[in-house]
A and B are shown apart, each in its own frame.
Chain A
Amino acid sequence: MTRFSKFTALFLLAAVPFLDLPDYYMHVLILILIWGFVYTGWSIMGRFGLVSLGHGAFLGIGGYTVGMLWNFYGITPWLGIPIALILATIVALIVGYPCFQFRIIGHYFALVTLALAEVVRLVIIGMRDYTGGSLGMTPQRYGEGMSVYAFQFVEKDYFYVIVLLSWVFGIWVWNLVDGSMARYSMEAISDDEDASASVGINVTREKLKITILSAWLTAFGGVLYGQYQMYLNPDTIAGISVSLQIVFASIVGGMYVALGPTVGAVITILLSESLRILVGVELAGLDGTIYGIMLILFIIFLPRGILGSGWAKPLEILRFPKDKPG
């Protein structure tokens, strides 16, 4: 992808609000960008073999921290967001540090992180007096619902710009990690921990950096989701289901390529939306059924995802050039 085509693509995406598209299309686009952003955040660590099944935890922390601070103390999300990110950092450290220090890897890591996701979900449910439990919670609307102070934008065009910027930022971070020193050491880490440790790479520290970065993006994704939907529910924003959803969409798109996770979001969201339009809601579960089969086939036949696989040559243009330093 050349610099020129990159900017053209960005320009086109930025022009979308001026097209006056029907609300529904804007809605789908916003969802794609939010989830694309979250999946990108996950794949920052997933691509290095740190397969976390617990990112729902960060999503939940982000969404609920900002929502609750707003509802109970009237604290603006502009302050709530940093607090949420700090909380996410603490959780990432508490779980990540021992994991990396004690070399908990592979499916043990997956299961520990999965436990974390469930802990956050259950804590939200358990605090039902404040969070509304399984019924979910609604951030209080501020005035007409259009306010920078409250980080609320009912007008989809405005929210679109915000998520677009966030998404671009996410891709930028992904590429930054990809191109930075961290990348080389991390790839060494995921291949052979002992070897990289003996070369003098501090495995634990590198892993933690990536994990915290990934937690930040995901938590912020949770904030975006909550402020956009104006509704939070522990089952859709925390816990095992959403955590798996994050992992799978990234895999389908291809987690080794910058735009892979976003492609995953496009595919999964278009799949469920088009099925909903084609067959209607009475066939609830059809999209998941097809999606489940797709996942299984993907992992068996295309473990590197759509963008990462050889047969997807026509989609190659979507890859960013790899200008490796040195």
Chain B
Amino acid sequence: MLELNNLTAGYGSFQALFSVNLEVKDGEAIAVIGPNGAGKTTLLRTISGMLPVQSGNLSMEGTSLKDVPPYRIIDLGIAHVPENRRLFPSMSIEDNLRMGAFTPNARPHYEERLDFIFNLFPRLKERRSQIAGTLSGGEQQMCAIGRALMSSPKLLLMDEPSAGLAPVIVNQVFQLVQQIRDQGLTVLIVEQNIEQVLQIVDRAYLMEVGSIKISGKAGELIQSESLRKAYVGL
């Protein structure tokens, strides 16, 4: 579904990704893990067009994303739950979700998607007119995921959905990711919570200073020596 070939990207003269190769197949759940500053967020931002590609290629279902303007990426079925959630803080939950269905393709399905999301997150339904900035961290994360799901994406990019949440809520978030992929959605998730994320994905990539160091089946990676070495205490 998503294919990255020798992808290079960065901020101005600072290069953050060094020829990254990565593939996400239809229906898979993939994790990208790695230490702080490895370039995981940069990777997701490049995929969704927030950062320009410097060299290399990336394509979604065979269409190259390189010349697609950033605001058209969502039309190709890619939705992005950004790092730190990035809700519109002074808008209500419902308005935030409405923004998720902004594209002309998504608008006709607004009601039906809203039902779907309220089903997934009953809490959001209860608080639909609450201002997003006043929600708890967990609720905000739900709202952010809900917002991304509003466009009925094929591929969901998630950037550290468990960051800053209490352990109980973290478990809920991972359950939710499981639930989402059970519905047939392809997921590319960036996580620091390595142990937990490896239990719900099929494959994973380990990223360090801008390039992929190891990749493989989630089950094998858990056993991997080098991963253990890199993350003492696992």
Direct touching of A and B (C-beta under 8 Å): no
- Residues of A with Cβ closer than 8 Å to B? none
